[in-house]
Structure 1
Amino acid sequence: MRTVLLLLVSNIFMTIAWYGHLKHNSAALWKVILISWGIAFFEYCFQVPANRLGFLEGINGFQLKMIQEVITLSVFCIFAITYLKEPLRWNYLVAFGLLLGAVYFMFKK
């Protein structure tokens, strides 16, 4: 559970670093890059411990990556709808459902 919570916080920072600038097209690209790097620092402060803790708790690398991707898409969906004001289409939901199926099979013994 700690791993998932750390990954969630990490992905909030990551999403803001990677996509937060999209609504600020007038800002100079070099400034956006530097600000994004600064935000991404905090992403790594949560991401690295999350992966280490998860691995020490018996989650393998493939499983950590799959958890990461589901959390990334979940955080991004909320971000895209609330901040970018983009619609959530049915095909996005189907694709997300298929990814959840992949998680199921990833953890199946």
Structure 2
Amino acid sequence: MMSIVSKYWPFLLLVASNVFMTFAWYGNLKYKNNSMPIFFIILLSWGIAFFEYCLMIPANRIASKNFDTAQLKIVQEAITLVVFGFFSVFFLKESFKLNYVLSFICILGAVFFAFKKF
């Protein structure tokens, strides 16, 4: 039987790691008119990504005891898109279009089928 920690904790860690990843990869776009050298931006992004790895690695190791690697990857991609959706709307102030919603629904369908027993 799966404990609460092994069942839900990895997914909370994946959400947190994806917040760091999203800021590491896309946070600089809010300040793209800044004259900061690209090398400094890369180093700053690597520093942020370090914390992503500190959360992602334990999440995958814990979850791999109860889930297949393919299931983990599909869930991770869905989490990434949800986190990115919030990030792009609330941090970058971009619009969220209908085709994005429909695309996210398709990804959630992939998660459903990844865990469906046939």
> In 2, Cα distance between the equivalents of 1:86 and 1:23?
10
Q: TM-score when scaled to structure 2?
A: 0.89
2:41 equivalent among 32, 36, 40: 32
Given the alignment, which residue of 101, 104, 107 partners 2:112?
104
Aligned to 1:87: 95
Q: 5+ residue gaps in structure 1?
A: none
Instruction: After superposing the two structures, state which structure 1 stretch, 25-34 or 72-81, moved more.
Output: 25-34
Q: 2:58 aligns with which of 46, 49, 69?
A: 49
Q: Given residue 19 of structure 1, which amino acid in structure 2 is its aligned partner?
A: Y
Deviation at 1:28, TM superposition (A): 1.1
Query: Any unmatched runs of 5+ in structure 2?
Result: 1-7
Alpha-carbon distance between aligned partners in 2 of 1:11 and 1:23, rounded to the nearest angstrom:
18
Normalised by the size of structure 1, how large is the TM-score? 0.97
Residue 59 of structure 1 and its aligned partner are, at CA, apart by: 0.6
Residue identity in the other structure for 2:43:
L
User: CA–CA distance in 2 between the matches of 1:72 and 1:52?
Assistant: 18
Q: Cα RMSD (Å) of the superposition?
A: 0.6
Partner amino acid, structure 2, of 1:84: L
Q: Hey, what does 1:8 align to over in structure 2? A: 15
